[in-house]
Structure 1
Amino acid sequence: MKFFIDTANLDQIREAHNMGVLDGVTTNPSLMAKEGISGHENVAKHYKSICEITEGDVSAEVISTSFDEMVAEGETLVKLHPQIVVKVPMIKDGVKAIKYFTSKGIKTNCTLVFSAGQALLAAKAGATYVSPFIGRLDDVSTDGLTLIEDIRLIYDNYGYTTQILAASVRHPMHIVNCAKLGADVITAPLSAIVALLKHPLTDNGLAQFLADHAKASEKIA
């Protein structure tokens, strides 16, 4: 399973890259705003900076909601760097735009997916990635992981090559469960990825090893 980090923070992207686990980056207008990035030129420059850190795909989201405007915006985004993937919302014109981009050999990420039917449409249109938002489904008392399971079944039934990119990941067990269910990719905040490192038995064991080493060193001295 690939690990993407969901952020526009360059320091966090570097940290994930330096851990050796980073396969790509997803961003959106909200994450850009959180980092104080605004204006077309600054946003474009920031995307280029992200692409310089990771060797993987970088999802750049369109702001437009009409077909013609999404196409124009997406074509501008992909000119920024070969790693750019055009992130398109799951709406009627978005599906049309995905079909267009696919015909041009442009990678796409269909975002804001909340049902298996939506994921099926995205795959038929040729999306490179489909992003089911599991955390947001959990927020409304719906099991987001069930959606991952349903999409995996449908894609396997018909041999769709669209990759399931689990999004709105909130905690490490989301990551583990998505891996068990066969998600191709997860995108998560750095905190959720780093949390996979933690286990009390690891901490206790390391503390014991260090304490024993210190005692042995004292005896030798």
Structure 2
Amino acid sequence: MSSQSPDKRRKMESTLDQLKKYTVVVADTGDFNAIDEYKPQDATTNPSLILAAAKMPEYTHLLDEAIEFGVSKGGTEEEQVANTMDKLFVSFGLEILKKVPGRVSTEVDARLSFDKEGMVAKALKFMALYKEAGISKERVLIKLSSTWEGIQAGKELEEKHGIHCNMTLLFSFTQAVACAEANVTLISPFAGRICDWYKENTDRKSFEPHEDPGVLSVTKIYNYYKKFGYKTVVMGASFRTTGQVKALAGCDLLTLPPKILAELSKDHSTVTEMLSVEKAKACDLEKIHLEEKDFRWEHNESPMAVEKLSEGIRKFAVDAFKLETLIKEKMLSMKNGQ
């Protein structure tokens, strides 16, 4: 038996290991090496992460295979590129699933953010490719922008097709309420980007974790969901500091980039459970219901949420376009035998 006290053993444990006792840790990366190193339960990607990974020499083979698949499907250049993109996103997902015991999130093109039918069709295409590769629905989350159309696409995918959805680019309490009412599987409120906005648009240039606007936003959403028994779970996202992460210990899930995972693994400070169902039940929150008109008005009342949602969609769209350009260039060189 060990002679060390529980406190001493805890001090030897990394902050990351302690965090995993309260919260499911997810890797926010397309880099498989980071997944190997930090052993998260799940992993999530987005167009920006896939673009960065696709440029790495060690992942060139995935891009080449996706292009071969896209070309083999025939059609116009646009159709070949679209099929290549779909295959590439799923190929990264498949590689990630070899390394995590849980689920991978695969994101629908942000340019479809206001097209409910387009988002549903793209999600079904992704799931068909995963099924072809022998992956069950339980191991995949389809990421959708938390626009009104995205939330309704999530509702349809969950109810009609049994496909689990991860609602991303979520900045307002209004978005979170609509997602809960749509019974989606999971939401990803963007703590770091919320705090960024307040630093850029107010006199405050720094916040302690307990007063951080992003942390407070995720905490309120978590408490609301647990108080009223919604099945949707909360995965805090877009972290800038380990302080923000530790302030949300106890959240259902937290998705963390490699930089934050590295810092947490080297840190040995004590982690305390900050969020819990018991605390949530005691919160003074009222249940609300949102029709589309209410959603649009209430979301519009938050300049931060409006700006960050629009900016997030635009940035992901730019990176999707860059990825398409990369594919077209590679496609041309492969056709020319270079």
1:54 aligns with 2:100: yes
CA distance in 1, matches of 2:144, 2:26: 17
Distance change >3 Å, CA 100–CA 172, structure 1 → 2: same
Query: Which digits, 9 at most, give the CA deviation of each residue in 1:23-53, with x for residues without a partner?
Result: 1001100000011266323332222111111
Contact 1:78-1:85 within 8 A present in 2 as well: no
1:100 aligns with 2:156: yes
Runs of 4 or more above 4 Å deviation: none
Alignment-mate amino acid for residue 45 of structure 2: T
1:71 aligns with 2:71: no
Distance change >3 Å, CA 178–CA 200, structure 1 → 2: closer
Contact 2:90-2:106 within 8 A present in 1 as well: no
Contact 1:60-1:85 within 8 A present in 2 as well: yes
Contact 1:77-1:84 within 8 A present in 2 as well: no
Alignment-mate amino acid for residue 149 of structure 1: T
One of 193, 215, 220 as aligned partner of 1:145: 215
- TM-score calculated relative to the size of structure 2: 0.55
Distance change >3 Å, CA 106–CA 194, structure 1 → 2: same
- TM-score calculated relative to the size of structure 1: 0.83
One of 258, 264, 272 as aligned partner of 1:190: 258
One of 45, 52, 67 as aligned partner of 1:27: 45
Consecutive unaligned residues of structure 1, counting only runs of 5 or more, are 202-221
One of 185, 188, 198 as aligned partner of 1:128: 185
Q: Quick one: percent identity of the two aligned structures?
A: 29
Distance change >3 Å, CA 35–CA 149, structure 1 → 2: same
CA distance in 2, matches of 1:200, 1:106: 39
CA distance in 1, matches of 2:225, 2:89: 34
Distance change >3 Å, CA 70–CA 199, structure 1 → 2: closer
7-16 or 75-84, larger mean C-alpha shift = 75-84
SS in 2 for 1:35: helix
1:14 aligns with 2:36: yes
Consecutive unaligned residues of structure 2, counting only runs of 5 or more, are 1-22, 56-62, 64-83, 199-211, 270-338
Q: Which residue of 2 aligns with 1:172?
A: 242
CA distance in 2, matches of 1:35, 1:54: 18
User: Displacement of 1:199 after TM fit?
Assistant: 4.3
Count residues in correspondence.
Answer: 195
Query: Which digits, 9 at most, give the CA deviation of each residue in 1:179-220, with x for residues without a partner?
Result: 1xx41100011221221233489xxxxxxxxxxxxxxxxxxx
Alignment-mate amino acid for residue 51 of structure 1: L
As a proportion of its length, which structure holds more strand?
1
CA distance in 2, matches of 1:108, 1:200: 34
Higher relative contact order (CA 8 A, sep 6+): 2
Report the RMSD for the aligned CA atoms in angstroms. 1.7
Q: Which residue of 2 aligns with 1:206?
A: none
Distance change >3 Å, CA 75–CA 171, structure 1 → 2: same
